Amino acid sequence: MFNLNKAGMSKKRLQETGAVSALSAPSPAKPSAGAGSGRGLTARGLVVDYGSGPVLGPLDLDLPEHGIYTVLGPSGSGKSTLLRTAAGLVPGFGGHLAYGGRPLGGRDAAAAGVRVGFVPQNYGLLPWHTALANVRNALKIARPQEPRAQREQAALRWLALTGLAGLEGRYPRALSGGQQQRVAIARAFAVRPDLLLLDEPFSALDAVTREGLQSLLLESWRRQPSTMLFVTHDVEEAVLLGRQIIMLTGRGSMPSSEAASSSAGVRLIDNEAVFSQEDRNKRESEAFYEQVRQIRHLMREGW
Amino acid sequence: MKKNAAHSSRELGVQSAQKPMRSAVGSHSSTRTGFRGTVLRLLGVFAVLHVLWALLAAALQRDILPSPWVVYPALIHLDGAEMLTHVGASLIRVCAGIGLALAVGLLLGLLMGRSPRWNRLLDPVVYLTYPVPKIALLPVAMLFLGLGEASKIVMIALILVFQVIISVRDAVKAIPIDTYDVLTSLGAKRMAKFTQITLPGALSAILSTLRISLGTAFSVLFFTEIYGTEHGMGYFIMDAWLRLDYPGMYAGILLFSGVGFLLFVLVDLLEYRFMRWRAY
C-alpha cells in the first residue's frame, strides 16, 4: 500500500533527522519551542512502551485547537497508539500529554476533565443498547451534571443530524455498518468533546458509504468544531479530511539505537489548499491530486 | 428423507450460530408464526410422550405403571389446598437456594472475571472443590444445620454455586476488552462500566446458568425433601410411594414436572425481555 521500495528505505534516515518540517509554508501549526502550555493538544517526549521497546515516540507535538489533523503512517508507526493514549486507554506512558494545558490520558486526566470523543474502527457500540441508548448513556457519563431532558434532546438531535431519524430505537445488530458508524459519530459529537479522536473509523466500509460518512464528518465538525485527530492509512482520505496532515515515521525500520535516542520522525503537512475547497469539488480539484501525489512521493522517499 | 434431514440440521446450525445460548426448548423467534410453531411442536412432543406412556402401560398391565386415564383423574382429585402448601414449600426452598447461589456466585464470578488478582486467588479454590460430589455432603449439612429448612436450602445453593461462579466468570472474561474503550475514554467510573457493560455482557450466561440451575435445584430438592419435613413435592411423591398409592405418586410427578416447566418458561420470558437485542 505504501510503496516503500528499497531505494526509498535507504534515504529514510536523512528525512527523519528533521523532526518536523513544514512542507507548505507558512503552516499555522508550526510548533514553537516551549509552547507546552498553549491551547490545543501538546505532547512532550511522549513515549509508549509495552515492555519490548517503544511503540511510539519519543514524540513532540503542538496542535492548535479546532483543527482537523489526519494522522498517516505505516503500520507500526504508532498512530493508533497515539490516539489510544490521548483517549486514556494507555494508562502507563512516558512524557507529557495535555490539552489546553490540562493533562490528558494519564492518571490525573479524570480530574482535569478534558472531554474526549472516541470513534473506534469497530464502531464501539454496545449491542445491548439501542442507537438512542448508546448515545444517551455516553452523554450521561460525559455530562452527568446536565439535566436529563437536555441530554435526551442532544442525543436525538445528533442522531437526526447524522441521518438516523426514525432508527433511534434499533439495536446495532439491526443497523448496517455505515449506520452503526453514524451512531458512533453521533455519540462522539453529542458529548460536545474538546478533543475528537477517530481511529480508522471508515476502513471497514465500502467506498460509497465511506464517501458519505466523510462528508458527514466534515459537516458535523463545521457545525461544532473541536480538535479532531483522525487516524487513517488511506492517503486520499487523509488529504480529503485534514486541515493538516501528520505523518508518523515507521518504528520498525529504525535502527534501535537511533529509535531510543532521537525523537520520532513527525512531519506536519499543511493542507489548507484542499481543506478550503467546497466538499463536492474537493475530490476533483487540482489541489487534491497535487497533494495526494506529493504525499505518495514523500512516502516512497521514506518517511 | 436424507436430504430433508441434512437440510433441517443445517437450519439448526445456522440458528444456533446466531443465538449461541438458546436452549432447544425455549427457542422462540421474533416472528409470530415462529412462536406458534414452537408451541405446536411442544404440544406434539407432549402428545407423543403420552401415547408412548399409554402404550407402555397397556403392554405392561401392572399397577406400578398406571395409564394416563388413571393418573389424570387422580391429579384432578388431589386436594388443592394441600397441594398448594406442598408446591409452595418446594418453591420457597428452590427459590431461596437458587437466590443464595446466584448472590454468592454472581459476586465471585464477576469479581474473578474482572480482576485477574481475584481470579488467581480464588481459581484454585473453585478448581479443587468443584469435583467434590456435593450431594455427598448432605449428611454433613444435616449434622451442622439440622433437619429443617436451613440444610435443604444450603444444599441446593452449595451444588449450584460452583457452576454459577464458573459460567459467570467465563462470560465476563469473554467480553472483548475493547468493548470498554469508548466508555473509558469518556471517563466512566467503575460502577458505570459494570452496569453498562459487564452485567449486560454476562446476562446471557447468567440466564443460561439460571436455566440449568433450575433443573439441578429440583433434583437436589427431591433429595432434601425425603427427610425432616411433611411439606414439599418430594415429600408428597415419596409419601404416595410408601402408601402404594401409585396413581397419586404419578400425579405428584406430573405436578412437579408442571411446576418445573412453568419456571422454565419464566426464564424464557426473562430472556425474551432482556435479550431482545440479540433477536436480529
Residue A38 has a pLDDT of 61
Is B183 in CB contact (< 8 Å) with chain A?
yes
Residue B234 within a domain: yes
Q: Which of A126, A132, A196 to mutate to test the interface with B (most CBs of B within 10 A)?
A: A126
CA dihedral A189, A46, A52, A234 (to 10 degrees): 50
Interface of A with B (CB under 8 A): 84, 87-89, 109-110, 113, 115-118, 120, 122, 124, 126-130, 137-138, 141-142, 171-174, 184, 187, 191, 197
Cell of A248: 508518523
Residue B272 has a pLDDT of 87
CB contact under 8 A, B182 and A138: yes
Q: Which of A141, A146, A181 to mutate to test the interface with B (most CBs of B within 10 A)?
A: A141
Q: How confident is the model at residue B89 (pLDDT cuts 50, 70, 90)?
A: very high
**Phi, psi of A58, deg, nearest 5:** -65, 140
Cell of A166: 426514525
Residue B92 has a pLDDT of 94
Q: Give the mean pLDDT of A22-31.
A: 38
Residue B21 within a domain: no
Cell of A181: 458508524
Cis peptide before A58 (omega within 30 of 0): yes
Partners of residue A187 in chain B, C-beta under 8 Å: 182
For B74, the 3-state DSSP assignment is: helix
Of the candidates A139, A86, A80, A93, the residue with the CA atom closest to the CA atom of residue A112 = A86
pLDDT at A247 over 90: no
Residue B44 has a pLDDT of 94
Report the 10 Å Cβ neighbour count for A213.
19
Of the candidates B115, B205, B215, the residue with the CA atom closest to the CA atom of residue B160 = B215
CB contact under 8 A, B280 and A173: yes
As to burial, measured by CB atoms within 10 angstroms (0-12 exposed, 13-18 middle, 19+ buried), residue A44 is: middle
* CA–CA dist A200, A122 (Å, integer): 9
CATH fold of A4-302 reads Rossmann fold (3.40.50)
* CA–CA dist A218, A70 (Å, integer): 12
Buried b (16+ CB within 10 A) or exposed e, B134-171: beebbeebbeeeeeebebbbbbbbbbbbbbbbbbbbeb
Domain range for residue B258? 67-274
Q: Give the mean pLDDT of B232-261.
A: 92
Buried b (16+ CB within 10 A) or exposed e, A230-248: bbbbbbbbbbbbbbbbbbb
Residue A265 has a pLDDT of 73
Q: Give the mean pLDDT of A64-68.
A: 85
Q: Is the pTM of this model over 0.80?
A: no
* CA–CA dist A226, A66 (Å, integer): 5
**Phi, psi of B164, deg, nearest 5:** -65, -50
Residue B19 within a domain: no
**Residue B133: CATH number of its domain:** 1.10.3720.10
Q: Is the separation of the CB atoms in A178 and A212 below 8 Å?
A: yes
Residue B8 has a pLDDT of 40
* CA–CA dist A101, A138 (Å, integer): 25
Maximum distance among all Cα pairs of chain A, rounded to whole angstroms = 61
**A200 phi-psi bin (left φ>0, alpha ψ -120 to 50, beta other):** left
Question: What whole-number percentage of chain A has pLDDT above 90?
Answer: 19
**Phi, psi of A199, deg, nearest 5:** -105, 95
Residue type, A1: M
CB hemisphere CA count around A135 (13 angstroms): 33
**Phi, psi of B229, deg, nearest 5:** -155, 155
CB contact under 8 A, A141 and B187: yes
Q: How confident is the model at residue B90 (pLDDT cuts 50, 70, 90)?
A: very high
* CA–CA dist A69, A226 (Å, integer): 11
Is B29 in CB contact (< 8 Å) with chain A?
no
Question: What whole-number percentage of chain B has pLDDT above 70?
Answer: 88
Residue A27 has a pLDDT of 38
CB contact under 8 A, A128 and B203: yes
CB contact under 8 A, A124 and B276: no
pLDDT averaged over every residue in chain B: 84
Model pLDDT for residues B179-216, shown as the tens digit of each residue: 999 998 888 888 889 999 999 999 988 999 999 888 88
Of the candidates A205, A212, A204, the residue with the CA atom closest to the CA atom of residue A240 = A212
Of the candidates A151, A226, A229, the residue with the CA atom closest to the CA atom of residue A193 = A226
Residue B140 within a domain: yes
Residue with cell 479454590: B125
Overall domain count for chain B: 1
Q: Give the mean pLDDT of A264-269.
A: 74
Partners of residue B182 in chain A, C-beta under 8 Å: 118, 120, 124, 138, 184, 187
Residue A302 has a pLDDT of 65
CB contact under 8 A, A89 and B181: yes
Contact partners, residue B223, CB within 8 Å, separation at least 6: B135, B138, B155, B234
Model pLDDT for residues B111-137, shown as the tens digit of each residue: 999 888 999 999 999 889 888 888 888
Residue B46 within a domain: no
